[in-house]
Chains A and B, each alone.
Chain A
Amino acid sequence: MSNPLYEKLLLHRIRTSGDPEAFGKLYDLYIQRIYRFVYFKVPSTEEAQDVTSDTFLRLWQFLQAGNVVQYIGALLYEIARNTIIDHQRRHRPTESIDEEFALEIPDASGLAKIHRSAEVAEVLAAVRLLKDEYREVLVMRYVDGLSASEIGVLLKKSPGAIRVILHRALETVRTLLEPAKEK
């Protein structure tokens, strides 16, 4: 998890001297999480890349405008969410998520190296089908390794609410996987 004091010092350097290197360090801290957050919401890798880089550019502009930032992580996720919405307004998807996903699965050179690759693919497919809130919480908790409290700060919910969402999300994934198994 991030170091709040370090992030605040980076923010201060950006705010007082427009320091690009400090911004680069913030980028390093959050790029993977934000990319992953975006990745599950847009149809293609290219769009995920565009939206992610646009998110960081908007963050810079937001900071340069002298806006108050309480927690950089929460702000970044919020900017990413808005950027995705703007992106979806401009670019109506030409292919369904399922089709895109079907194209991605053959890119399984990485999967082949993993013992339970078939299971991972099934779980991934199920996670893709979840509603945004469930998927976000699952990814933040188990992929990004954030605690319920930290996710609560990012999504502006209480830790208890996050635990409930987490439980429901896992149950939903299990439900989605069961029929597949039975087939």
Chain B
Amino acid sequence: MKKRDVVKNIELFRDLRVGGEPSATWIRDTRAVLLARVAEQGVVSRAAQPVTMRSLLAGVMYNMPRSLRTSAVFTAALLVMFTGWIGGVAAAYNTVPGDTLYPLKRASERAQLALAGDQDARARLQVEFVGRRVDEITKIVETPAVSGDGDRLEEAVSQLRNNMRGVEVSLATLRQQSPGAAVRVAQLVGQKADEYHAVLAHANTPALGSESAVQEAKNIVVDASVKAVAVIIEEHTSGVGSVSEKEVATTVGEKIQAVSDRVDSLEEVRADAIPHSAQESATQAKVALSEAKTLVEKQDLSGALVKVIEGKELVKAAERITVAAIEASNALPFGMSASGTTGIVSIGVTSSSFPTTVSSTTPAVIEDPAPASSSVPTSVIAP
């Protein structure tokens, strides 16, 4: 046989099973099994990290042959010199809404989301971005007040809400695709939301009007935290999640404690400024949380979570009433008090935007409450 014929025959191997061509079914099945295993290992071994333009370039350089690195560095240096773009992206990461480079930061985040390979990565990125919005909010409220701070805060809170909604959408999709991965993301959301809430709770808010913005941000992360627990419980109940009964009970217990802490801080720190209606809400919240504890002991975790949500909504209402009263008080001339008066309405919170009651019945688990800035119980305006 001629050399040319040998080559032609060898080339035919690629179409033959006996020539080493794997079956399409095996390729597909192995891919699914491998990805499930690596997804499991990946979540354990590392949390999602933000992808910045700097890290992207670093990644390419890191994987580049040494012989090419010198020329690559030179090329990158030229790029920096002539465009300043990379520096711009890096600088943009410390910006807040209203800054010139802030749109660049947001564009970079959108690009990262677009490049995210799956819902799991997307959800983790959104959680990371929520953290950035929290940083932006604290940065704005803690720096000396300048003109336009209200708009900046409003935008930061709005973006925070959008990012958190993105987390929820990704989580919902992930539950359809991979319930196990959804549970792990839900755990991450719960953990991060608590961290973000702590950061916001310790933010110093000297500027007028900033309290309500921070309050709204806190409510957004707390709502997300509770929803995450709901996902964990639901997946646990359906027997899909890998979380044990004890872990779920611990998670619910932590949420009870977190809401209890909010009641305590409300009563202790602002005791002199709490309107009567807020005190009533706080008391009802305590009752709901006490019932939640009892239900946890009875291993009725879903019932306990419902009570946690009830307590959370009551605390939220109490906090809103208190914040509104404080801001009204700050707006009034020295010596006058807004607490327990209708004066609050005059600072921009209209009666039509208030919910009619603070329900003590069990609210739907996943239902979004009305935005905090537009919902204060009617009891505030009652004489």
Contact = CB atoms under 8 A, between A and B. Distances in A.
B22 A174 contact: no
A80 interface: no
Contacts of B124: 17
B37 interface: yes
Interface residues of B, number: 54
A126 to B, nearest CB: 8
Nearest to B18: A104
Nearest to A53: B30
Interface stretch (B58-66, B145-153, B155-163, B189-197): B58-66
B43 A18 contact: yes
Main secondary structure of the interface of B (DSSP, over half): helix
A154 interface: no
A99 B110 CA distance: 58
Contacts of A71: 65
B19 A143 contact: yes
B118 interface: yes
B3 A17 contact: no
Chain A interface category by residue count: 35 or more
B1 A119 contact: yes
Given A19-B118, A61-B41, A104-B18, A139 B12 contact: no
Interface string B2-46: 110111011111111111111000110011011101110111011
B51 interface: yes
A77 to B, nearest CB: 14
B238 interface: no
A32 B16 contact: no
Contact of B41 (A53, A64, A177): A64
A85 interface: no
B3 A64 contact: no
A124 B117 contact: no
B111 interface: no
A16 B19 contact: no
A68 B58 CA distance: 12
B357 interface: no
A61 B65 CA distance: 22
Nearest to A61: B41
28 contacts: A11-B59, A16-B51, A17-B48, A19-B42, A19-B118, A19-B121, A27-B35, A32-B21, A32-B22, A35-B22, A40-B20, A49-B26, A60-B34, A68-B63, A69-B63, A70-B65, A104-B18, A105-B18, A108-B18, A110-B15, A110-B16, A111-B18, A124-B16, A139-B10, A142-B11, A143-B11, A144-B14, A173-B10
Nearest to A24: B35
Given A11-B59, A28-B31, A111-B18, A18 B42 contact: yes
A107 interface: yes
